[in-house]
């Protein structure tokens, strides 16, 4: 599969957060942004699906409970389309400016949800991920690991009606979680698995301990 000729980002840092819903990604992202901004860094936060006018329209289709008849194949391609637009329009320019980009979900979600969860071909998804991401690879990915049963309890406590994906079966989320385990075992990637039920401040410190050396390394390259 030919990937459009774009240079791998070299100035900024790309950080992604993964895990099933209600694992606490939002809390940890907010704490990390605060720490980065206090360190004087420019931060761009984006989410998948979404983040641009086109991608937000795709998000509404994907998460709409009325889209129950959507095929797994269409779901995968829509997520990938939204991702491609987001990266082209927002992520690549921010990285070129030397910003820290934090993405609430990235292509690992496609591997976990549509690959392991829906049972689509993993090799095809890997190629599509590279294509839609213009060859970008996160500098670090944080996988917040949470049992699907605990996620369901958290959702119920919040009284939040589930969107199309959140309304999937527990068996589906078990497959998704197992998929994230497989991703975290990939030794070619910098994927950090964290226990999502730990104290939020403890989790934040673990995340910061991984992020700070990346930032320091990037700063040293920029000043050399």
Domain 13-219: assigned CATH number: 3.40.50.300
Q: What is the pLDDT of residues 129-176, one digit of tens each?
A: 999 999 999 999 999 999 999 988 988 888 766 788 878 889 999 999
| Contacts of residue 14, Cβ cutoff 8 Å, sequence gap at least 6 | 91, 95, 101, 103, 136, 137, 138, 139
Judged by DSSP in three states, 187 sits in: coil
8-state DSSP, 111? I
Closest to 135 in 3D by CA, of 7, 11, 13, 10: 7
Instruction: Note the pLDDT of residue 223.
Output: 57
> Rounded mean pLDDT of 64-69?
92
Return phi, psi of residue 24, to 5°: 100, 20
Contact in structure between 73 and 107 (CB atoms under 8 Å): no
Closest to 36 in 3D by CA, of 173, 219, 188, 163: 219
Q: Which of 9-23, 120-134, 202-216 has the lowest mean pLDDT?
A: 9-23
Domain edges within the chain: 13-219
Whether residue 1 is predicted with pLDDT greater than 50 in this model: the reply is no
Distance CA 74, CA 62 (A): 9
Return phi, psi of residue 140, to 5°: -155, 145
Contact in structure between 144 and 194 (CB atoms under 8 Å): yes
Distance CA 80, CA 110 (A): 8
Please report, rounded to a whole number, the percentage of residues in the chain having pLDDT higher than 90. Answer: 80
Distance CA 12, CA 139 (A): 10
Distance CA 198, CA 219 (A): 31
Q: What is the pLDDT of residues 8-56, one digit of tens each?
A: 556 899 999 999 999 999 999 999 999 999 999 999 999 999 999 999 9
> Rounded mean pLDDT of 43-72?
96
């Amino acid at each position: 599969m030919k990937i459009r000729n774009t240079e791998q980002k070299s100035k900024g840092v790309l950080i992604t957060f993964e895990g099933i819903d209600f694992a606490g990604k939002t809390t940890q992202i907010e704490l990390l942004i605060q720490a980065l901004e206090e360190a004087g860094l420019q931060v761009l936060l984006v989410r998948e699906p979404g983040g641009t006018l086109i991608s937000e329209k795709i998000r509404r289709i994907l998460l709409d409970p009325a889209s129950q008849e959507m095929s797994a194949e269409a779901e995968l391609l829509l997520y990938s389309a939204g991702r491609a637009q987001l990266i082209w329009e927002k992520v690549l320019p921010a990285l070129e400016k030397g910003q820290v980009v934090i993405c609430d979900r990235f292509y690992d979600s496609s591997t976990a949800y549509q690959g392991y969860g829906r049972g689509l071909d993993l090799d095809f998804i890997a190629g599509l991920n590279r294509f839609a991401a213009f060859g970008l690879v996160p500098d670090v990915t944080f996988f917040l690991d949470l049992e699907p049963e605990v996620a369901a309890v958290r959702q119920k406590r919040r009284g939040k009606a589930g969107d199309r994906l959140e309304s999937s079966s527990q068996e589906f989320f078990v497959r998704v979680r197992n998929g994230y385990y497989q991703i975290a075992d990939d030794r070619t990637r910098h994927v950090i698995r964290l226990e999502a039920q730990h104290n939020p401040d403890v989790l934040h410190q673990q995340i910061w301990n991984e992020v700070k050396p990346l930032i320091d390394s990037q700063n040293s390259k920029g000043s050399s």
